[in-house]
Amino acid sequence: MKALVIGGTRFIGAYVVRRLHDAGVETTVFHRGTSRHPVLPDIEHVCDPSAAYPIVSFPERLRRDWDLVVHMVAMGADDAEAAVETFSGRTRRLIVISSCDVYRAYGRLTGIEPGSPEPVPLTEEAPLRSIFFPFRGMEEQLGAYVRDYDKVLVETAVRSANDLDWTILRLPKVYGSEENGDLATIYGFAAAPAWRWTHGHVRNVAAAIATAAVDPRARGSIFNVGEETTPSMGERLARLPARRGPPAEPPSFDYRQALVVDTTKIRAELGYADVVEERSAMIELAAQHLDIS
């Protein structure tokens, strides 16, 4: 089996490449050439400036047949449509990484979607946002790409593709030693102890992506990814080492709206199982951060 991974040299993507390679998949990575994670195996790299966000064109050497194309960094309509156009007829399946911010519940949490809180946990059939571009106005803080970022539009482009099989994975808040290693997305919400937000260790998230990529049963399906159960922030913090100083002021969200996703589907239909125990991994990471801070 031959796979192309678009944007697979940092954090989640690097661990996905590692798992695919270890599963016997001949893997090629397309990226800008600005980073190479130490977990990456000895594989083919195709480096080109066109791999900058948004990726709307692909070098000629990638326009060949693939069993799988895994797009880690489709950010909006333009780059999703470019991938669909380029790889239709050239791959058996396009696997696209989405986010749980597609759900209407996310809009209710942040206040961009009017209405009362959505019931949780959110299954893959839960309503999606109708208000697009959730991070516009935050370009200076997050990067210029967020002006046109919207995973709802990514999913729409992929699902409407003709002659192209697809799989979509909606990711939770991911943490690991390389990113979110200080668990700011936990400690930063100490003032909202009853609130719940699904997280996932990077190794578990990568394992879920790789599982769906190589399993033909995932064809034409959407899967939530994340921890099996989602504790409240207070429950998480009770298990983690305390940190000095006053708690951070959390964003002015509507904390009546939890952001909890149901990950039953990928576990039941594809037999996915965590490779890292989430509670222990979070405790270990928090302790490591205290040692170096």
Q: CATH number, domain at 87?
A: 3.40.50.720
Mean pLDDT of 205-217: 98
Give me the residue label for tokens 């991974």. Answer: 5
| pLDDT classification of 5: cutoffs 50, 70, 90 | very high
The total domain count for the chain is 1
Q: Is the dihedral of CA 113, 118, 122, 128 positive or negative?
A: negative
pTM of structure: 0.96
At residue 277, does pLDDT exceed 70? Answer: yes
pLDDT on residue 293: 46
**101-112 pLDDT tens trace:** 999 999 999 999
State residue 244's pLDDT score: 83
Mean pLDDT score, 268-291: 93
Domain residues for 130?
A: 2-292
Task: List, in sequence order, every residue forming a beta bridge with 44; answer none if it has no partner.
Answer: 28
User: What does DSSP say about strands 199-201 and 173-175: parallel, antiparallel, or unpaired?
Assistant: parallel
Per the CB < 8 A criterion, the answer to whether 258 and 197 are in contact is yes
Residues belonging to the chain: 293
| The pLDDT of residue 16 is above 50 | yes
- Mean pLDDT for 148-152 is 97
Q: What's the whole-number mean pLDDT along residues 54-64?
A: 95
Contacts of 111 (CB under 8 A, 6+ apart): 252, 253, 254
Q: Who wins on pLDDT, 293 or 107?
A: 107
pLDDT at 291: 61
pLDDT tens for each residue of 21-33: 999 999 999 999 8
| pLDDT over 80 at 4, yes or no | yes
